Amino acid sequence: TGAITPLPIAHLDAYTPRLSPDGQFVAYQRRGADGNRVYVLDRERESTSRLTTAPDSVQEWWFTWGTDSRTMFFNSSLGESGSTINVNLFSKLLTEPGEGDPLQTESANLAPQQVSPDGRWLLYIRDGSRWGTGIDIHALDLETNEHFPIIDTPANDFQPMLSPNGRWLAFASDRTGSWQTYVQPWPEGGTVQPVSTDESGGGEPTWSADGSMLYFRSRSGRQIYGVDVYEDPVAGGERTLRIGRI
The amino acid occupying position 159 is Q
User: What confidence tier does 246 reach under pLDDT thresholds 50, 70, 90?
Assistant: low
Q: By percentage, how much of the chain surpasses pLDDT 90?
A: 53
User: What pLDDT does residue 7 have?
Assistant: 82
pLDDT over threshold 70, residue 11: no
Amino acid 205 reads: P
Give the CA count within 13 Å in the CB-facing half-sphere of 49. Answer: 13
The neighbouring-strand residues paired with 130 are none
How is residue 105 annotated by DSSP? -
pLDDT, tens digit (0-9, with 9 covering 90-100), for 62-113: 999 999 999 999 999 887 654 455 678 999 999 888 999 988 877 678 999 9
pLDDT value, residue 1 = 63
Mean pLDDT across 22-35: 86
- Whole-prediction pTM value? 0.90
Residues 150-178, mean pLDDT to the nearest whole number? 94
With 80 as the cut, is the pLDDT of residue 199 above it?
no
3-state helix, strand, coil in the chain (%, to 5): 0, 50, 50
Say whether pLDDT at 169 is over 90.
yes
